[in-house]
Amino acid sequence: MRSPHRPRDTRSGLVLDTHELGRRAGAMTTVSTTAEAPAELGIAVIGVPPGSPVQLDLRLESVVEGVLATGTATVELRGECVRCLGEVADSLVVDIQELFVYPESDAGEDEASRLEGDLLDLEPLLRDGVVLDLPFQPLCREDCQGLCVECGADLNGDPEHTHPVPLDSRWEALRRPDDSSYDVHSQSQA
């Protein structure tokens, strides 16, 4: 989609040039490209590693108000399981559908995405889509057993893991039958 007469914008692979579409309603092109993920694309426990590939498969269509971008973005996810603290690795497909209006257009006023000249920037749209689709509490697997609350052992690797149940110290005297200072039977008969 790059014109040989126009330099490509080097800000980001998520910025696409729509110059070839012109402003002819109905003109359409497809874009299949890979860009680098921006920094801080995620939440504290899971997100997209900065610089990892973002696969874009889009259809850009010129409409009266601007350019309609429709398609998907596929990203790699890396994070930490909230139960066992193990690594979580997955991929996420985000649906994209956004109208980028021409700079001089009154359509949508403040809430509409705007073209900057002939350039449209997918980063804010990708950021919103990815963050909203991330699991709030990512798990390494659905049946993750987590960690032992007493010693921190991974219960996934040792499902039979147990600890002896500590006795209440108030019952300690009853546990030692050889303790002559306290005889349960003699106390009950007196």
Per-residue model confidence as pLDDT tens for the chain (190 residues): 433 434 444 557 889 888 888 777 778 889 999 999 999 999 999 999 999 999 999 999 988 888 899 999 999 999 999 999 999 999 999 999 999 888 776 665 666 688 888 889 999 999 999 999 999 899 999 999 999 888 888 888 888 888 888 777 787 777 656 555 555 554 545 4
The model's pTM is 0.71
Give residue 156's identity as a one-letter amino acid code. N
Categorise residue 125: left if φ over 0, alpha if ψ from -120 to 50, beta otherwise.
alpha
Token pair for 97:
């559908």
Cβ atoms 65, 101 nearer than 8 A: yes
Longest Cα–Cα distance in the chain:
109
